[in-house]
Homo-oligomer: A and B are copies of this chain.
Amino acid sequence: MDQRVDNGPQNKFLRNAWYPFAWEEEIGDGPFGRTILSTPIVVFRDAAGALAAIGGRCPHRFAPLRLGKVIEGRLECAYHGLMFDGAGRCVANPHDDIVPKTGVPVYPLQQRYGLIWLWMGEPERADPGLLPSFPSFEDPDFETIHGTIQGEGHYELYSDNIMDLSHAAYLHSGLAAPIFVIGQRRFEQDGDRVWTKISHPNDHVSDFIGAICDVTGRKQDQWVDVRWEPPAAMLLDADLAEPGQPRRTAVPSAHIFSPENETSTFYFWMVGWRRRDIPGFAETMRGGFVHAFENEDKPMILEQSRLMAGEDFWALGPVLLRGDAGGVRARRTLARLIREEQAGTASGVPRNADAEATAAAALSTIGA
């Protein structure tokens, strides 16, 4: 029933984790298919009306189930008509007297923040309590927008991009602000979570943040905290205060990455701000954020990925700056978790001990 016939290079991913798969509004009456972790998956609404995620490849002739039809909560393969229920079981065979004892994998599914999250590992370990927490996105005081980008490049390059926001001053002209270059930085780790924290008192904010928070022209005390948790979920809280006043969340955003495969990433993003009820405001803000993600981050990471030419990040001997400490801790944490997960079935020896040593040495050099 739970045969995993998928033949991608999956052992490089952390499997026992929640990954965003799609936004709820992407799911219509029919099946919705997408590949994450090199695994084709299809989501549809089952007989009970609940969303179900099952393997996207029919076990009969390997046809894509995403082309099928949902009939009374069962998914019918578009090629020869085998039907599957929301648990992945084959429940109808129009051709023979017997229904074959077969099926496709089922993936535990949770819905939160408008996102559909899938657990890609052992189903019995799927704990909704492990979903990342983005409280502002459940807080009615915030107006929020969200979207998806698909880009070339390993998902850890996308995580690095958020963990080191110093790039904002160079890559995002609309977001350029002193805090990203001269702000005070701090890096923290608590278990498997890593924080990059920047603070900067009594200075100008970026033009875009000024507009979104209605503080244009007014100096602010500023904080930007980025919280990473494995495999690739980041909360980025940009907080402001009138100088000397108490800090409060101004522009929270979430940046969550699901690998399509080793060289392609789905980027699920959410941005919020304190509700101001200005007509058209959300669409204007959406334009600004989409521009930064699509036209500035995405082409940079694409070229970065191509210049790495398939080599391991550490094997290329990156020169590390102090601002890399957060991203490097996140990379090390994820590498350890993948090693530990694989050690359950295979050996626990890291596959690239030399590169690991390089990383550790580099990190101690930068004092992270």
Q: Hey, which bits of chain A sit against chain B, CB under 8 A?
A: 3, 5, 7-8, 40, 56-57, 59-64, 67, 76-82, 90, 93-96, 100, 102, 160, 164, 166-167, 169-171, 181, 300, 303-304, 307-309, 311, 316-324
Contacts and interface: CB of A to CB of B under 8 A. Distances in A.
A125 to B, nearest CB: 25
B80 A304 contact: no
Contact of A79 (B5, B167, B318, B319): B167
Given A63-B300, A64-B300, A95-B323, 17 more contacts: A7-B309, A7-B311, A7-B316, A40-B307, A57-B307, A60-B318, A62-B307, A64-B304, A67-B300, A76-B170, A79-B300, A80-B167, A80-B170, A80-B321, A80-B323, A95-B181, A100-B321
B170 A318 contact: no
A62 B321 contact: no
Contacts of A80: 164, 166-167, 170, 321, 323
Given A307-B62, A308-B62, A96 B321 contact: yes
A30 B298 CA distance: 22
A64 B307 contact: yes
A94 B100 CA distance: 64
A173 to B, nearest CB: 11
Given A62-B304, A62-B308, A79 B171 contact: yes
A316 B160 CA distance: 36
A56 B96 CA distance: 48
Contacts of A7: 308-309, 311, 316
Nearest to A164: B80
A170 B81 contact: yes
A170 B100 contact: no
Contact of A81 (B60, B96, B169, B318): B169
